[in-house]
Chain A
Amino acid sequence: MAKIIGIDLGTTNSCVAVMEGGSPKVINSAEGRNVIPSVVDPIKRIVGDVAKRQMVINP
């Protein structure tokens, strides 16, 4: 069955939610956080907290 997903792409953080039983439910990141840092490393293909942790090496 088709699902409705909403994504808030913020400048600092992003958030993803799915409609369940008529109300939105936020999808947690692997680290268990509700919001994901809006950071992407396109070379290593990593996003969120993991990409943010190596920001000092690859500014």
Chain B
Amino acid sequence: MNKKTDNQPLSIHPSAADDKIKKEAEEWKAKYLRALADYQNLEKRVAQMRQDMMQNALESIIVEFLPVIDVLEKAEKHINDQGLTLGLKSFWNVLSGRGVRKLETKGKRFDPNEMECVEVVGDGKDDNVIEELLPGYKLGDKIIRVAKVKVGKSNPENKEQITENNSSN
């Protein structure tokens, strides 16, 4: 009597055990996807770190050379020696080959991303660089040393005089 006939449909109701297995499978899948994403991120980060490390090593060496360049350039101005000029030129050829560039500051508007203001001068245009005390340098797109500059500020007395003259006219 207990024997099942072939025509009888199979029970397709999921049991509690099936539910548990499904839930566990979903949890494992989520964990796997998260681990995979973490690993892919790690791979990217390691590649980036390797590149950054090389760039930082180059940058730190160049930064150490910058005060030497400053001294040589000042000496060149005062001594006016042809040998020194030639040496400095070949030095600059190597540096520019590595992507080092001098920042242009004089006469430009003060930009705190590239320059550091050390003094405000009472004559001149507002926020315009009057004098460059120490040149700034760029390696590729990164600023490795900011320029130290004197920034102009228009004299308030002059401004008042101009406005008085304008009003009298």
Contact = CB atoms under 8 A, between A and B. Distances in A.
A47 to B, nearest CB: 11
Interface residues of A, number: 11
A1 B56 CA distance: 30
B34 A1 contact: yes
Nearest to A57: B117
A54 B34 contact: no
Contacts of A57: 110, 117, 120, 127, 151, 153
B112 A51 contact: yes
Contacts of A46: 112
Interface residues of B, number: 16
Contact of A53 (B56, B117, B119, B153): B117
A2 interface: no
Contacts of B127: 57
Contacts of A7: none
A17 to B, nearest CB: 17
Given A1-B34, A32-B56, A54 B112 contact: yes
A56 interface: yes
B75 to A, nearest CB: 28
Interface in A1-59: 1, 31-32, 46, 50-51, 53-57
B58 interface: no
B34 A56 contact: no
**Highest count of chain A CB atoms <10 Å: which of B56, B110, B113, B153:** B113
A57 B113 CA distance: 14
B103 interface: no
Interface string B112-138: 110111111000000100000000000
B66 interface: no
A53 B34 contact: no
A57 B34 CA distance: 50
16 contacts: A1-B34, A32-B56, A50-B113, A51-B112, A53-B112, A53-B115, A53-B117, A53-B146, A55-B117, A56-B117, A56-B120, A56-B151, A57-B117, A57-B120, A57-B127, A57-B153
